[in-house]
Amino acid sequence: MSVHSSDIKRITTHTIQEMKNRGEKISCLTAYDYSMGGIVDAAGVELILVGDSASNVMAGHETTLPLTLDQMIYHAASVVRAVKRALVVVDLPFGSYQGNSEEALRSAIRIMKESGAHAVKLEGGLEVKESILRILSAGVPVMGHLGLTPQSIYKFGTYTVRAREEEEARKLLADAQMLDEVGCFSVVLEKIPSALTREVSESVSIPTIGIGAGPHADGQILVLHDLLGINKEFKPRFLRRYADLNDVMHGAIAQYVADIKGKAFPNEKESY
């Protein structure tokens, strides 16, 4: 029996809420293009984030700050065209939502209209509450992001673990509760102590999605290129590599070059 895309049950924000309610962990990954989006979706992750980490892994920038709204929409539309099942969430890029809730709404609407994605994500707590409320009022699902928020890297000055001190931990907990109360559908917790992740996850009703935040989050997310070992230099403690694709790809391409030089490619069967 063949499976048509119309037979596949789509993951929604309600699906992942139900997963938290029954204690089933939620798997999430980033993707930035059509080919990878299709592979990630077919492999069964529930949530695909078109993250602004595209700025680092796709464009080679040092930070996530340079990525534009147009560029995010291009990445997101490519992923959406490939995805049949997962919930697709798109990062609002730096400068498209902070400090101006009308602009935040315009940015979110552009993402939803022009990419066909299902939700947006933005970084921060109380500071961006107005923007969150405005976007939610248009019926656009919002995912929060607390802890290490890479768009604020020049404020933090480092990518080290956040909220180790009591004051920052209390603020993070209050921000998470605010995101829950105003109606966000989930929240990413990045690089915070495991015990704080447990406390947050137990005190909010919405799913928490951890990265470098220990095992107590309701779900986990990694950057696809890190998990696949495409990017060899990035080796944080929280990263588990499931493949060494950098070596595999390098080997395949080097063999291709050698075959051309040695006149082994193409052969008769590969010719017309």
Q: Cα separation of 222 and 197, whole Å?
A: 16
Cα–Cα distance, 212 to 235 (Å, whole number):
12
Which residues are near ligand KIV by CB under 6 A? 30, 49, 51-53, 91, 188, 190, 211, 221, 223
Minimum distance, C-beta of residue 186 to ligand KIV, in the bound complex (Å) = 11
Cα separations in angstroms, 174 against 124, 141, 180, 234: 12, 20, 10, 31
- Nearer to ligand KIV (CB atom), residue 49 or residue 111: 49
Tokens of 166: 């009591």
Catalytic residue among 62, 165, 190, 233: 190
**Amino acid, single-letter form, for residue 150:** P
- Is 167 noted as a catalytic residue in this protein? no
Of 72, 47, 238, 34, which is closest to residue 151 (Cα–Cα)?
A: 72
Least Å distance, CB 171 to ligand KIV, is 20
Provide, rounded to whole angstroms, the least separation between the CB of residue 91 and ligand KIV.
Answer: 5
- Closest to ligand KIV by CB, 56 or 101: 56
Query: Based on CB atoms, which residue is closest to ligand KIV, 72 or 112?
Result: 72
SS3 content of the chain, % helix, strand, coil (to 5): 45, 15, 40
The phi and psi torsions of 253 (rounded to 5 degrees) equal: -70, -40
79 vs 211 by CB, closer to ligand KIV? 211
Provide, rounded to whole angstroms, the least separation between the CB of residue 222 and ligand KIV: 8
Q: How far is CA 19 from CA 11, 26, 64, 213, in A?
A: 11, 7, 30, 19
Instruction: Give whole-number Cα distances, 27 to 41, 76, 161, in Å.
Output: 11, 19, 22
Q: Shortest distance, CB of residue 209 to ligand KIV, whole angstroms?
A: 7
Which residue number is nearest to ligand KIV in terms of Cβ?
A: 51
Give CA–CA dist 21/41, Å, rounded.
23
Nearer to ligand KIV, 123 or 180 (CB): 123
Catalytic residue positions?
190
